[in-house]
Amino acid sequence: MSGTRDPILPPIEWLSEHSSIPAAVSDWLMEPGSMTRRFECHCGRVQVEPQRECFITRDQLLAEEAAHLPHSERYWLREIVLLGDGEPWLLGRTVIPQETLTGPDLALVDLGTLPLGRYLFSSESLTRDYIHVGQQKDLWARRSRLRLAGKPLLLTELFLPASPLYAVEQDTPA
Ligand code: PHB
């Protein structure tokens, strides 16, 4: 798989304040636990289809990503589509400096179809620095900087139209 293809994510506009986000949407976007597990409450089967897993250089990061990650000679890139009962629900892009890939965390380069959250949320050393909320046209996105034993990685998730996140909006009074 090559590192020179177009990124899976379209450009996202990151919000500087969160006051305009409907409460029920915010409840999804600020989910502190595993998004995969939350999705599993809304379908019979969650599947992850990797689109790209490879090392890239810092100049191949997206414009906004570099500001959230330390300098490294190379970064592990993982781009996936997550399906709920066969429908695309989420695009995920994870960027991991190679210095994070030490000890057991080297397993991050071998995830394949295993959802990232299964690895992260089984680790006792997982912490989150922040979640930023963004929009891509009518779609919601979030960006999380996480740490494993203090070592950073950046996960960006774009919620596709069939995602159950959009079902709640109709239920929420304006
Ligand atoms: C992944 O497996 O890379 C993955 C899974 C679920 C997410 C984000 C990323 O919400």
Ligand 1 mutation pick, 36, 37, 77, 111, max ligand atoms within 8 A of CB: 36
For residue 134, being part of any structural domain is answered with yes
Return the CATH number at 37: 3.40.1410.10
pLDDT score recorded for residue 6:
87
- Please report which confidence band the pLDDT of residue 170 belongs to, taking 50, 70 and 90 as the band edges: low
The residue count for the chain: 174
**How is residue 134 written in tokens?**
């963004």
**How is residue 63 written in tokens?**
């414009």
Residue 172 has pLDDT above 80, yes or no: no
What is the tens place of the pLDDT at every residue in 140-149? 999 999 999 9
What is the tens place of the pLDDT at every residue in 42-84? 999 999 999 999 999 999 999 899 999 999 999 999 999 999 9
Domain count across the chain:
1
For residue 17, being part of any structural domain is answered with no
For residue 12, being part of any structural domain is answered with no
Ligand 1 atom 10 nearest Cα? 35
Residue 18 has pLDDT above 80, yes or no: no
Residues with CB under 6 A from ligand 1: 35-36, 48, 78, 80, 82, 90, 92, 94, 115-117, 157
Other C-beta atoms closer than 10 Å to the C-beta of 93 total 21
What is the tens place of the pLDDT at every residue in 26-37? 999 999 999 999
For residues 83 and 87, give the distance between their C-alpha atoms in angstroms, rounded to a whole number.
5
46-56 and 75-84 as β-strands: parallel, antiparallel, unpaired?
Answer: antiparallel
pLDDT score recorded for residue 174:
47
**136 is in which domain, residue-wise?**
22-171
For residue 9, being part of any structural domain is answered with no
